[in-house]
Amino acid sequence: MEAITSRIGRGQVLLADGAIGSLLMARGLPRGAPPEGVNLEHPEILEEIARLYLEAGAEIIQTNTFGASPLKLANYGLGEQAGAINESAVRAVRRAVGERAYVSASCGPSGRILQPYGDMEAEKMFASFQLQMQALIQAGADIICVETMSDISEAQLAIQAARSVSPSIPVMATMTFEATARGFFTIMGVTTEKASSELQKAGADLIGSNCGNGSLQMVAIAKEFRKFTVLPLLIQANAGVPELRAGQVYYPETPEYMAEMCRELIGAGVAVIGGCCGTTPEHTRAMRKVVDEKKKNSRGS
Amino acid sequence: MEILKKIAQCLEVGDDAGVPPLVRQALAEGIVAKTILDDGLIAGMNTVGEKFRVHEIFLPDVLLAAKAMYAGMDVLKPLLLSAGVSSRGRVVIGSVQGDLHDIGKNLVGIMLKGAGFEVIDLGNDVAAEKFVAAAKSHDACVIGMSALLTTTMPVMKEVVDLLNKENLSGKIKTIIGGAPVSQNYAGEIGADAYGYDCAQAVAGVKKLAAAVP
């Protein structure tokens, strides 16, 4: 399989998958249970979900390891099993996709706040990320995806942890921004400009944004990033802001709408496009068509 | 009352080491503890909360301000107790589903403490039974619930139903908040109040606590 960074370097747009959590819940994940518990108990469910996204046209498939750093798992008394939980998730996706897609190992926030604002020491947080990265990389992940970060220092620790395990594995890093009257900021006060320089400094190969408040804002965020960095960009938007309709959770952005936004993101120069909360294999399928169109057009030109 | 302004400013810049000496100085000047709490610490925390609401400052500033507030409260607490200044009541809070966004719930906790409530924070992934059991055992007057992800929101309704079932709904009030929650949802499940943001949540709790006999 050609390295993901070399395909991006040739100007290709790659499609990443969508949400996992909602599909897990539809398959009986009990409320309040850690989504990563499935990795040891029912890896076959992870394989099934990976296949759904692969068949929908995703060429980057995420592992179910967003909350699988030992620090985060400790909330559920699963900290000791972090290694096995991460390995199992990577292997499940690999079994499902073989060499037909890249296995992207997800790494979300630790849930702790670094000193001096919170009580967490940087060394301990780094060690936690390093243990997770060790397991993900050893199990054969093709790329690391540090995501949903608000604190730039925490994002840097995660990137550096991946780098410490493997100097060569590609690392993507995304942060979650809110639109304010003064522009986009993470809840910790990080701007797209600061994210651009600091994520690159820590060693990320692709940078950008995920989660947040829907696709339209992501187009604006991508354009901001483009101003501040020459690195390839990664965007994974939510299917809008969730609403409750008759007691049911409802994400307002349809596959057709997100496909339209996908076209905008390609226009803004984004290299890897995927979905976050509320997106489904149907969204991936719709976005696939847009990415294929782009491919055809660029071949013709 | 220049000194009280200084205390408030110390909070705004997150200078936790600077607060205790100023509080002691204010006491030495003869200002009573309750006034220092209200017009120094709480006044400063309110400014911080308002700046955070309009994105002028961000979470790190709020966390440092909270540290500074706690440092001041440590000095005042024994005096408030001996002066017979009672707490405004006990409030049990928790997230029905936790992730990094339990920050919203934590902020409400900080501001409630600043407003003079005793806060029992049950943390994340709190089940309905646990909310009600904690409220009963701590003799709390309000349960505050936060949700970010919509999937666990039904827990909020379960708490309301459980209070009704145990005939506690008049004695223990409920307030809910979080990104996917709305005034409509509060009405739908029969919660007593909804807090759009931190300031509203604190105002809501004050109102509910005052209404509990």
ipTM of the complex: 0.86
Residues A244 and B194: their CA atoms lie apart, in Å, by 15
**Residue A122 neighbours by CB under 8 Å, 6+ apart:** A114, A115, A153, A157
**Residue A205 neighbours by CB under 8 Å, 6+ apart:** A5, A170, A171, A172, A231, A232
Instruction: Tell me if chain B has a CB within 8 Å of the CB of A240.
Output: no
Distance from CA of A34 to the nearest CA of B (A): 10
Among B58, B99, B155, whose Cβ lies nearest the Cβ of A187? Answer: B58
Residues A212 and A144: their CA atoms lie apart, in Å, by 20
Distance from CA of A236 to the nearest CA of B (A): 18
The SS3 call for residue A31 is coil
* Tokens read off for B198: 């931190």
Residues A64 and A35: their CA atoms lie apart, in Å, by 8
Round the CA-based radius of gyration of chain A to a whole number and report it.
18
Confidence of residue A301 (pLDDT cuts 50, 70, 90): very low
Instruction: Tell me if chain B has a CB within 8 Å of the CB of A187.
Output: yes
Q: What DSSP assignment string belongs to chain B? A: -HHHHHHHHHHHTT-TTTHHHHHHHHHHTT--HHHHIIIIIIHHHHHHHHHHHTTSS-HHHHHHHHHHHHHHHHHHHHHHHHTT---S-EEEEEESS-SGGGHHHHHHHHHHHHTT-EEEE--SS--HHHHHHHHHHTT-SEEEEE-SSGGGTHHHHHHHHHHHHTT-TTTSEEEEESTT--HHHHHHHT-SEEESSHHHHHHHHHHHHHH--
* Tokens read off for A115: 């000193």
Report strand pairing: A243-245 vs A270-275.
unpaired
**Residue in chain A nearest B156 by alpha carbon:** A247
What chain B holds in terms of domains, given with CATH numbers, is: 2-82 (1.10.1240.10), 90-211 (3.40.50.280)
Instruction: Tell me if chain B has a CB within 8 Å of the CB of A185.
Output: yes
Among A31, A111, A150, whose Cβ lies nearest the Cβ of B151? Answer: A31
Q: Please list every residue in chain B whose beta carbon sits closer than 8 Å to the beta carbon of residue A185.
A: 55, 58
In three state form, how does the secondary structure of A125-177 look?
HHHHHHHHHHHHHHCCCCEEEEEEECCHHHHHHHHHHHHHHCCCCCEEEEECC
Residues B59 and B51: their CA atoms lie apart, in Å, by 11
Q: What pLDDT was estimated at residue A201?
A: 98
Q: What pLDDT was estimated at residue B150?
A: 66
Q: Please list every residue in chain A whose beta carbon sits closer than 8 Å to the beta carbon of residue B127.
A: 32
- Rounded to an integer, the average pLDDT of B15-33 is 96
Of A76, A65, A63, A62, residue with least CA distance to A36: A65
Which of A179-193, B104-118, B140-154 tops mean pLDDT? Answer: A179-193
Among A109, A113, A241, whose Cβ lies nearest the Cβ of B63? Answer: A113
**Pairs across A and B, CB distance < 8 A:** 68
Answer yes or no: are the C-beta atoms of A154 and A114 closer than 8 Å: yes
Instruction: Tell me if chain A has a CB within 8 Å of the CB of B106.
Output: no
Instruction: Tell me if chain B has a CB within 8 Å of the CB of A75.
Output: yes
CA–CA distances in Å: residue A32 to residues A9, A76, A294, B125: 41, 10, 41, 6
B 108-167 residues with CB below 8 A of A? 124-125, 127, 149-155
Q: Note whether B57 contacts A185, CB cutoff 8 Å.
A: no
Q: Note whether B180 contacts A181, CB cutoff 8 Å.
A: no
Instruction: Tell me if chain B has a CB within 8 Å of the CB of A214.
Output: no
Residues A151 and B86: their CA atoms lie apart, in Å, by 38
* Tokens read off for B33: 């503890």
Q: Note whether A249 contacts B179, CB cutoff 8 Å.
A: no
What chain A holds in terms of domains, given with CATH numbers, is: 4-300 (3.20.20.330)
Q: What is the pLDDT of residues A57-85, one digit of tens each?
A: 999 999 999 999 999 999 889 999 999 99
B 171-210 residues with CB below 8 A of A? 179-180, 182, 185, 188
Q: Please list every residue in chain B whose beta carbon sits closer than 8 Å to the beta carbon of residue A117.
A: 59-60, 63-64
Q: Please list every residue in chain B whose beta carbon sits closer than 8 Å to the beta carbon of residue A113.
A: 63
- Rounded to an integer, the average pLDDT of B87-113 is 82
CB atoms within 10 A of CB A132: 30
- Rounded to an integer, the average pLDDT of B1-25 is 95
Of B117, B131, B140, B210, residue with least CA distance to B176: B131
Percent of chain B with pLDDT over 90: 62
Instruction: Judge whether residue B62 has pLDDT over 80.
Output: yes
Q: What is the mean pLDDT of chain A?
A: 94
Instruction: Judge whether residue A300 has pLDDT over 60.
Output: no
* Tokens read off for A9: 């370097």
Confidence of residue A266 (pLDDT cuts 50, 70, 90): very high
Instruction: Tell me if chain B has a CB within 8 Å of the CB of A281.
Output: no
Q: Please list every residue in chain B whose beta carbon sits closer than 8 Å to the beta carbon of residue A241.
A: 179
Among A116, A150, A249, whose Cβ lies nearest the Cβ of B151? Answer: A249
* Tokens read off for B54: 């309009």
Q: Please list every residue in chain B whose beta carbon sits closer than 8 Å to the beta carbon of residue A276.
A: none
The CA-to-CA distance between both ends of chain B, in Å, stands at: 36
**Residue in chain B nearest A67 by alpha carbon:** B99
**Residue in chain B nearest A24 by alpha carbon:** B151
* Tokens read off for A67: 């909350």
Instruction: Judge whether residue A190 has pLDDT over 90.
Output: yes
Burial of A245 (0-12, 13-18, 19+ CB in 10 A): exposed
Q: Note whether B150 contacts A241, CB cutoff 8 Å.
A: no
- Rounded to an integer, the average pLDDT of A102-128 is 95
Distance from CA of A277 to the nearest CA of B (A): 10
Distance from CA of B56 to the nearest CA of A (A): 8
Q: Please list every residue in chain A whose beta carbon sits closer than 8 Å to the beta carbon of residue B100.
A: 109, 111, 148, 150
Residues A97 and A291: their CA atoms lie apart, in Å, by 20
Q: What is the pLDDT of residues B166-203, one digit of tens each?
A: 999 989 999 999 877 889 989 999 999 999 888 889 99
Answer yes or no: are the C-beta atoms of A167 and A144 closer than 8 Å: no
Q: Please list every residue in chain A whose beta carbon sits closer than 8 Å to the beta carbon of residue B109.
A: none
Residues B144 and B202: their CA atoms lie apart, in Å, by 10
